[in-house]
Amino acid sequence: MWKYEQRLQYPVKINKTCPKTAQYIMSQYGGPDGEMAASMRYLSQRYTMPDKQVGGLLTDIGTEELAHMEIICAIVYQLTRNLTPEEAKTAGFDAYYIDHTAGIWPAAAAGIPFNACEFQSKGDAITDLAEDMAAEQKARSTYDNILRVVTDPEVRDPIKFLRAREVVHFQRFGEALEKTKDRLDAKNYYYYNPEFDKQFGKQI
Amino acid sequence: MENQCLAVPFVPAQTWDLLYDPATALAEGTVFPGLNKPFFAAPEGCNTTLPAAADDPQILFSQYCFVLDDLLLYLDTHPQDEQAKACYQSFLVKKKELQKSASCGCCMTDHFEWDKKPLVWEGGHC
C-alpha cells in the first residue's frame, strides 16, 4: 500500500503566471515520456520480474515517479492558477483552456491525451529493463528541451532536479539488467525468457 | 565485467564513494557526485530558488528525505554494501530526530487537518 506524505520531493514555488510554459511542462505529466507513463510502466512491470531485488527497485522507482508526477502537476497548476481570460487566449494553451479551463489533465504538449500505449510491460526482463533505460533517456531529453526554452528560474530549478533523477534511474536500471543477466546463460542471453520459461532459470 | 558481450546492453555497477552534503544533494538532484551529469543549458550553481536550511528549517527535512530516497535506490542494487547501509541508517536517525525537535513540525500535522497549512501544490512543503 501507499501512504501520502504532505510534501513535494522538491519544493515548487512559482509566482509568475505563464500558460505557454504550462503547456510545455504538462507533457511531462501526460505526454509520451512523462512521469505518469514512467510510474505506470515500472509499477506494472514489477509483478513478473524474475529477480526480487529488481521487482523491488521497480517499486521504489515507480513510487518516486508518482512523486515526480506531483511535482510536474504542481508546476502546471502554479503557472496557471491566476490565469486571466486574456492570458487563456495564449497560443498553444487556448485549445486546452476550452476543454479544461485551468484544471490539470494529463496530455502531451501537442494535445494528445495520456494513453497506456505510451509504455510497455512486455513480460520479458531484458526487454522491459531495456525499455526502462530508454524511457529514462527519453524523459531526460524532454527535460533538456524544456531547459532550452524556459527561462524562469522558479520553473527551471525543479525541472533540473527531475532531469538529474532520470540519469540516476538509468544507472539503477543498468545495474538491475546486470543482476538479471547473472541469472542467464552468458553464451546466449536470449535463449529463453526468464519471466516465462521458468524451467530454465538459475536458482539464485 | 564478465557480462559484457555483444548484442546486449551493459552499464558498469556504481561503487561507493564520497557523497554530497544534503543541501547540495537536493539542489543537484543526486547525493552521488559520480552520477551528477548536468546539461550545458542548465549550468551548475544556478539553483537560486531553493531556500537555505538556516532560513527554512523545513527544507532540512526535505534534504534528509531526499538523501534517503537516493540511498534507497543505491541499496536496491547494492543490498550487500555495508557502508551504504550504515549511511542510510545515520540519515534515518537524523530525519527522526528532526521530526521530534520543536523547530520543525514536518509531517506532524494529521492528514485530516488539510486547512491548517498551505497545500503542497500551493507551494507549502512538509
Model pLDDT for residues B50-88, shown as the tens digit of each residue: 888 777 778 999 999 999 999 999 999 999 999 999 999
Report the amino acid identity of residue A59. T
Confirm whether A7 is domain-assigned.
no
Mean predicted lDDT score pLDDT of chain B:
87
Interface residue of A16, A17, A148, A168 to substitute, partner B, most B CBs within 10 Å: A168
User: For position A124, what pLDDT does the model report?
Assistant: 97
Confirm whether A183 is domain-assigned.
yes
Confirm whether A134 is domain-assigned.
yes
User: What one-character DSSP code corresponds to residue A115?
Assistant: -
SS3 for A108?
coil
Report the amino acid identity of residue A189. Y
User: For position B2, what pLDDT does the model report?
Assistant: 59
Q: Which A residues in the span 104-163 are in contact with B, Cβ-Cβ below 8 Å?
A: 126, 130, 133, 143-144, 147-148, 153-154, 156-157, 159-163
Q: Which of B65, B67, B51, B56 is nearest to B104 (CA)?
A: B56
Across the range B22-44, mean pLDDT stands at: 91
Confirm whether A11 is domain-assigned.
no
In Å, how far is B101's CA from the nearest CA of chain A?
Answer: 18
User: For position B114, what pLDDT does the model report?
Assistant: 87
Taking an 8 Å cut-off on Cβ atoms, the answer to whether B120 and A177 are in contact is: no
Cell 508526477 -> residue: A69
Say if residues A161 and A154 touch (Cβ distance below 8 Å): no
User: For position A198, what pLDDT does the model report?
Assistant: 83
Q: Considering chain B, what percentage of its residues have pLDDT values greater than 70?
A: 83
Full domain range(s) for residue A53: 19-200
In Å, how far is B72's CA from the nearest CA of chain A?
Answer: 8
Across the range B17-43, mean pLDDT stands at: 94
Question: For chain B, what's the residue count?
Answer: 126
Confirm whether A8 is domain-assigned.
no
Interface residue of B20, B24, B35, B95 to substitute, partner A, most A CBs within 10 Å: B35
Confirm whether A142 is domain-assigned.
yes
Q: Which pLDDT tens digit goes with each residue over A123-146? A: 999 999 999 999 999 999 999 999
Residue B46: pLDDT above 60?
no
Task: Compute the distance between CA of residue A39 and CA of residue A35 in angstroms, rounded to an integer.
Answer: 6
User: For position A188, what pLDDT does the model report?
Assistant: 92
The ipTM assigned to this model is 0.96
CATH of the domain at A78: 1.20.1260.10
- Low-confidence residues of chain A, pLDDT below 70? 201-204
Q: Which of B111, B3, B125 is nearest to B65 (CA)?
A: B125
User: For position A139, what pLDDT does the model report?
Assistant: 98
Number of structural domains in chain A: 1
Residue B101: pLDDT above 90?
no
Confirm whether A3 is domain-assigned.
no
Cβ-Cβ contacts under 8 Å, A174 against chain B? 9-12
Residue B108: pLDDT above 70?
no
In Å, how far is A104's CA from the nearest CA of chain B?
Answer: 12
User: For position A200, what pLDDT does the model report?
Assistant: 82
